[in-house]
Chains A and B, each alone.
Chain A
Amino acid sequence: MTQITRDDVLHLAQLSSLELSDSEITGLQADLGNILNYINKLSELDTKDVEPTYQVTGLQNVWRDDTVINYGVTREELLARAPESVDFQVKVPKVL
């Protein structure tokens, strides 16, 4: 059994850049424990000398011509999606 403590949840939330509410922490503590217990099933498998599969296409070193692809998007259009921007830069709140 994998036991997930409240501190574990807070640590994972920190690793995941999530600020959780108290009520959510309690629920997630139970859920994460249950999910981990389920996926622990894999520890039964003997995988000695088995190579991992990270991708299934078998494609390697996919090349294309070293030319700029026109994505049809301008700097102005992309910056317009930022919550705030000024002088062609994304503006963020003062954090120091």
Chain B
Amino acid sequence: MQKRISIFIFLLVHIASINAQEAKMASIKEGSFVPLYGASSKKPTVVKSFFLDVYPVTNEDFLNFIKKNPSYSKSKIKGIFADKSYLAYWKNNFDFGSANPKSPVTSVSWFAAKKYCECQGKRLPTMEEWEYAAMADEKRIDARTKTEFNTYILSWYEKSKTYENTIGSTFKNYWGVYDLHGLVWEWTSDFNSIFLSGESRKDKNNDKNLFCGSASVNATDLMDYAAFMRYAFRGSLKANYSTRNLGFRCASTTKY
């Protein structure tokens, strides 16, 4: 009997510990926008309502995840899931060293980010969801045409080591989401859906040879230089890459 009770308690604690990891999410309402890339004929893309983490995943959060999934620690992760620079700034498997516990975790591969979100019962946001949520400033759903907004983002791109800053230290946007611009770049589930000419991969022949249909994908607004930078960056990534300025946050279709 006692055994039974102790197992029961163990299970309760187990469930509680899953819930303790829940990150705050903001509700993003359905809407449409014309993304910089990927729309076939400059027609608006509809983004369905979804939920997005208010903050990027932190070093502390990621450590908790690794403790439960040691196969994703820096010495154990399989080569197919992460390159050599995976968590390079961490001291060892279960210690992020002198890094700020509340700053975004970076140097994580797409596979690790994806797994983390799955373990929270969530997923990575799609590129369209991310861009849709990230075009909002404090007051407007779409601030992309505002000079101050673009200047802010571009000035961040010039700053160094913003990944050391604490989450929540940038502005809260229309949806209640922080840090989409200002700390780190973020993985999206379909980062590998970008087609840019002259991308880093060897495309010896012209693009039409390597990519079918590439001619139909064009920039809708080259003025949107900040977004262009993000797409170009994503286009240069591979799923096992990890770099110091690239983190992530999770999303969910239903309320979690």
Are A and B genuine complex partners? no
Interface residues of A (CB under 8 A from B): none
